[in-house]
Amino acid sequence: MKIVYSDTKTGKSAQMEITAEQAALLVNYKINDTIDGTMVGLNGAKLKITGGSDASGFPLTKGIQSANKTKVLRMIAVSGKKKGQFRRTTVRGGIVSTDTAQINAVILEYGDKPASELFPEKAKAEAAPAEEKK
């Protein structure tokens, strides 16, 4: 399972792979629940679950209070040509389960590590020189 955590102040985000033991601790938490960062390796931090998706790519939906997949009727557009049209889409409930592949979270409080360690800078790939056309 992956956890993607972000900081609303700086706009940075990072992801980490968590072990099966850590993932088992997160089962039965709901969207908008606050978790302790020590469960996922961020000592002292507080995280708020904001969403996620399962292994098939279906998003977790806050309004559904189960961990199962279900089909819901959703409005597809508020304005434009498709205004007022509805479509039945498949979503997963808002409870983290063993089928969840990714959890999205926001950092509420920082812990022991400074922000520079939580969000490591990625080395940018050097642009390959463009081949000249003849």
Tell me the two tokens of residue 94. Answer: 């808002």
The pLDDT, as a whole number, for residue 10 is 84
Instruction: Give the contacts of 96 (CB within 8 A, at least 6 positions apart).
Output: 26, 27, 28, 29, 30, 49, 52, 60, 67, 103
For residue 87, being part of any structural domain is answered with no
Please give the tally of structural domains in the chain.
1
Q: Which residue type is seen at 72?
A: V
Tell me the pLDDT band of 119, cut-offs 50, 70 and 90: confident
Given a cut of 90, whether residue 69 has pLDDT beyond it is yes
Length reported for the chain = 134
Query: Whole domain around residue 34: which residue ranges?
Result: 2-62+93-112
Output 131 or 37, whichever has higher pLDDT. 37
Residue 59 Cα distances to 27, 41, 88, 118, angstroms: 16, 24, 14, 25
Residue range 96-113: mean pLDDT, rounded: 90
Tell me the two tokens of residue 75. Answer: 């409005």
For residue 126, being part of any structural domain is answered with no
For residue 100, being part of any structural domain is answered with yes
The pLDDT, as a whole number, for residue 118 is 75
Given a cut of 70, whether residue 133 has pLDDT beyond it is no
What DSSP string runs through 98-130?
Answer: TTEEEEEEEEEE--SS-HHHHSPPPPPPPPPPP
pLDDT above 90 coverage of the chain, percent: 60
Given a cut of 80, whether residue 65 has pLDDT beyond it is yes
For residue 50, being part of any structural domain is answered with yes
The pLDDT, as a whole number, for residue 96 is 95
The pLDDT, as a whole number, for residue 11 is 87
pLDDT above 70 coverage of the chain, percent: 87
